[in-house]
């Protein structure tokens, strides 16, 4: 049974069957808006190569996958893909026949001696040329519309992924000391102000709400956490890179992120655009995007995969959110530092590397001595690119709840098809079987699989360490912070506030 068939069977058992199909069919308004926004943005890469045949042969299963993920599809999108794909094949066949006929006419022209007969053939060739041009234009329009529709589909979903919303997540393991009782006295915002670690007021004055300054030991802690996480990744064979914080919006889109689109009827505000003078550029939402882009349009030679990278970058999020417990203080901000793990591997190895990234993350967080747990996230929590996703949550007693500090996603070939990341198989394994593109040409260079995972999302780790490690005086005032001694080699300067444990 295929991955999607598993999801269909399980969703039917749970009474969740609900087709995304709608008889309204293809919407011209959707075509014009989406194709324009998706394909006409500045790009230097070829168009994504999606598997239209696989989609057409499993539209019911694709529909269930989208439903289980609560993924909004345009009305009639799947049926339109089927119709457009059939139309593409028919038009392509007609075009091939016309081109073949033109080739035959060309050969005839060179052998004809009679001028009148030659003129007749030249007239036929002229008519044929016009028909070919018309078919080429028609095929280009069909392919553009087909791609615009197919880009709306999310990745498939691993059969073991729980179905449902966030509370359907499965706890895979728990780590660290037992959680201490919740206490508002441990709220990181209150502690940070009392210990002069944060300055939210200056951040709001200089930039706006959800911007901040880290001061003194909090700034030292960011540096220590960054270098500590990188050191663990290096020990596991990851190569360190510093990424640009500005990327093309097209690269972000191909990675599965939706930058703000001012031409859309319903603008999405995940990322910041640079300025009107550079509308094609956005501030990166995560180092995953520039790292993925680093491998775009590449074919890896035999036996060079996997490639494992740990990158450091600033992450910019325009949708930090309204005020509330989930956005208080450092928990959800517009800018933060992040250490990111990224793997490019062969298509049959991504499940293994998902577990390897999870092990690296576990080592990093166990070294910090905080209570945390690892969850297998359910369908409604998967982003467009994720086939399976693990989240790591740390206990934050000041917030009185678990808070996400990390995630790991296996994106299979979702990003690779859009970014054109492929590899050559070792000679003994070469086969005519290949991933399918729109022309069904047989290839010997399949698409790679990509994975990403957070090694350290700095502000949330600061929350967890501060709320779990704060020390109080007899009269209840915060006086010191217990930090894991594993960070001491990465600490700059001296501190009367920090106690190494």
Q: Are residues 152 and 31 in contact, defined by beta-carbon separation less than 8 angstroms?
A: no
Distance CA 95, CA 101 (A): 10
- Residue 249 near residue 359 (C-beta atoms within 8 A): no
Residue 23, annotated ligand binder? no
318 is in an annotated binding site: yes
Asked if residue 405 belongs to a known ligand binding site, the reply is yes
User: What is the SS3 assignment for 163?
Assistant: coil
Q: What is the phi/psi pair of residue 326, to 5°?
A: -80, -10
Q: Are 392 and 229 within 8 A, CB to CB?
A: no
How would DSSP label each residue in 29-41? Answer: HHHHHHHHHHHSS
DSSP 485: G
- Known binding residue 180? Answer is no
Distances (CA, A) of 347 to 352, 407, 420, 424: 11, 21, 14, 11
Binding site annotation covers 201? no
Instruction: Write 277-283 long-range contacts (CB < 8 A, 24+).
Output: 279/42, 279/249, 280/41, 280/42, 280/248, 280/249, 280/250, 281/246, 281/247, 281/248, 281/249, 282/246, 282/247, 282/248, 282/249, 282/252, 283/245, 283/246, 283/314, 283/316
Pair of tokens at residue 200: 């939210």
Cα distance between residue 72 and residue 257, in whole Å:
15
Contact 325, 399 (CB under 8 A): yes
**303 among the known binding-site residues?**
no
Residue pair 285/270 in contact (Cβ under 8 Å)? The answer is yes
d(CA 97, CA 139): 14
Q: Is 317 annotated as a binding residue?
A: yes
Name which of 340, 358, 284 is nearest 452 in CA terms. 340
- Is 302 annotated in a binding site? The answer is no
**Residue 334 annotated as lining a ligand binding site:** yes
Give me the count of residues in the chain. Answer: 501
> Does 53 show up as a binding residue in the annotation?
no
Q: Is 286 annotated as a binding residue?
A: yes
In Å, how far are 147, 154, 205, 383 from 255, measured between CA atoms? 16, 12, 34, 11
What are residue 241's DSSP bridge partners?
A: 311
Tell me, what DSSP letter sits at residue 244? P
Q: Identify whether the C-beta of residue 82 lies closer than 8 Å to the C-beta of residue 53.
A: no
- Is 363 annotated as contributing to ligand binding? no
Structure tokens at 33: 């808006």
Give binding residues for L-serine as ranges: 286, 317, 340, 452
Give binding residues for ATP as ranges: 317-319, 333-336, 404-407
Give binding residues as ranges: 286, 317-319, 333-336, 340, 404-407, 452
């Amino acid at each position: 049974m295929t991955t999607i068939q598993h999801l269909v069977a399980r969703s039917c058992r749970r009474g969740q069957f609900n087709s995304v199909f709608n008889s309204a069919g293809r919407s011209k308004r959707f075509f014009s808006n989406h194709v324009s926004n998706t394909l006409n943005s500045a790009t230097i890469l070829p168009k994504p190569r999606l598997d239209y045949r696989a989609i057409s042969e499993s539209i019911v299963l694709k529909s269930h996958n989208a439903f289980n993920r609560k993924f909004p599809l345009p009305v009639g999108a799947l049926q339109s893909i089927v119709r457009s794909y059939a139309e593409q094949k028919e038009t392509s066949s007609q075009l091939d026949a016309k081109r073949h006929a033109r080739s035959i006419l060309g050969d005839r022209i060179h052998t004809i001696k009679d001028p009148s007969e030659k003129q007749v053939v030249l007239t036929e060739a002229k008519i044929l040329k016009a028909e070919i041009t018309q078919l080429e234009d028609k095929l280009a329009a069909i392919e553009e519309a087909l791609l615009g529709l197919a880009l709306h589909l999310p990745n498939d979903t691993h059969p073991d992924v729980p179905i449902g919303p966030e509370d359907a997540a499965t706890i895979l393991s728990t780590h660290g000391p037992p959680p201490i009782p919740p206490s508002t006295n441990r709220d990181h915002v209150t502690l940070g102000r009392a210990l002069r670690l944060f300055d939210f007021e200056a951040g709001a004055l200089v930039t706006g709400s959800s911007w901040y300054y880290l001061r003194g030991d909090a700034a030292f802690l960011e540096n220590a956490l960054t270098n500590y996480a990188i050191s663990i990744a290096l020990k596991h064979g990851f190569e360190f890179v510093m990424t640009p914080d500005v990327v093309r919006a097209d690269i972000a889109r191909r990675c599965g992120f939706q930058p703000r689109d001012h031409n859309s009827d319903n603008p999405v505000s995940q990322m910041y655009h640079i300025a009107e003078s550079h509308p094609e550029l956005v501030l990166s939402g995560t180092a995953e995007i520039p790292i993925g882009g680093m491998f775009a349009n590449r074919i890896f030679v035999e036996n060079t995969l996997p490639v494992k990278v740990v990158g450091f970058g600033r992450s910019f999020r325009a949708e930090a959110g309204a005020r509330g417990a989930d956005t208080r203080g450092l928990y959800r901000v517009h800018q933060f530092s992040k250490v990111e793990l990224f793997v490019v591997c062969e298509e049959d190895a991504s499940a293994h590397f998902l577990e390897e990234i999870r092990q690296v993350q576990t080592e990093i967080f166990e070294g910090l001595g905080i209570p945390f747990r690892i969850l297998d996230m359910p369908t409604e929590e998967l982003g467009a690119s994720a086939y399976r996703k693990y989240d790591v949550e740390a206990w934050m007693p000041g917030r009185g709840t678990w808070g996400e500090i990390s995630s790991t996603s296996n994106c299979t070939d979702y990003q690779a098809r859009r970014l054109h990341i492929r590899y050559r198989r070792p000679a003994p394994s070469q086969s005519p079987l290949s991933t399918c593109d729109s022309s069904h040409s047989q290839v010997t260079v399949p698409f790679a699989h990509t994975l990403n995972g957070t090694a350290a999302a700095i502000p949330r780790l600061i929350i967890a360490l501060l709320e779990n490690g704060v020390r109080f005086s007899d009269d209840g005032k915060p006086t010191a912070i217990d930090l894991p001694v594993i960070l001491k080699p990465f600490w700059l300067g001296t501190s009367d506030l920090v106690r190494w444990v």
